[in-house]
Amino acid sequence: MKLLIVEDEKRMAEAVCAILKQEKYDVDAYYEGFGGLEAARSNIYDLIILDVMLPGMNGFEIARNIRKEGIQTPVLMLTAKADTDDKVEGLDSGADDYLTKPFETKELLARIRAMLRRNNIQSTDDTGKLSAGDLKLDQGKSMLINTENGMDVRLSEKELHIIEIFMTNAGNIISKEQLAVKIWGYENEAEYNNVEVYISFTRKKIQYLDSKMEIKAVRGLGYELRQKETS
């Protein structure tokens, strides 16, 4: 797996590169925005890690540019700010996930592994409907379908949004904060409780379909749509 990291703090970039190389990843590092953008354009990467604050061109601009050019490589945004506006701008610019500095090595590696699994699960069929594993989402009819046994179930508006988020980010860990911002527009304790309630509702719909997929809680990080582990 080949990764690109664009981080202006050279010591941090070198530390992250060393960690990733220990995990057997092939890593390129750039320390300013324009070089990072050119690398993303001219090489094929499995994952791009972007710092927000970069000389020349910031991480938001790099993400927007590569998405405009049709590059769909998963992007993990690193930010020193924990405020909602920064997170929302990162996601709106085309990033798939974000990580707030300082972060634990195990969290960085967990997010990278989850994002790299994404392309092994996520797809769209020839009608443009979202799918993940044996599940297909008919957004127009608000129906979730098990393509193997033909069972279907109707979704509420919030359940539909939750499934859309997980299917367009299949293999990614989605935090409560991300779900609260994407579905309700902001985050606070009340919305975190709503997230938990609607995750529970959505899980029951998936279980009703007897699907091989599940929404799994990842302790301390959030939730992930993935195939059930077989014993």
| Most confident stretch, 28-32, 41-45, 179-183 | 28-32
Sign of the CA dihedral with 80 first, then 97, 16, and 102 last? positive
Confidence (pLDDT) at 147: 94
Q: Do both 95 and 181 map to the same domain? A: no
CATH number at residue 185: 1.10.10.10
Q: Tally the domains of the chain.
A: 2
The residue range of the domain holding 221 is 123-227
For residue range 68-98, list pLDDT tens digits in order.
887 778 899 998 876 667 677 778 888 888 8
Confidence (pLDDT) at 212: 94
pTM summary value: 0.55
Domain boundary among 103, 134, 167: 103
For residues 34 and 57, is the Cβ–Cβ distance under 8 A?
yes
Instruction: Provide the pLDDT confidence category of residue 108 given band limits of 50, 70 and 90.
Output: very high
Match 């129906």 to its residue by tokens: 143
Residue 174 DSSP label: B
Confidence (pLDDT) at 139: 85
Question: Domain for residue 201, yes or no?
Answer: yes
Confidence (pLDDT) at 72: 75
φ and ψ at residue 120, rounded to 5 degrees? -80, -10
Question: Domain for residue 116, yes or no?
Answer: no
Confidence (pLDDT) at 57: 95
In this structure, which amino acid lies at residue 91? Answer: L
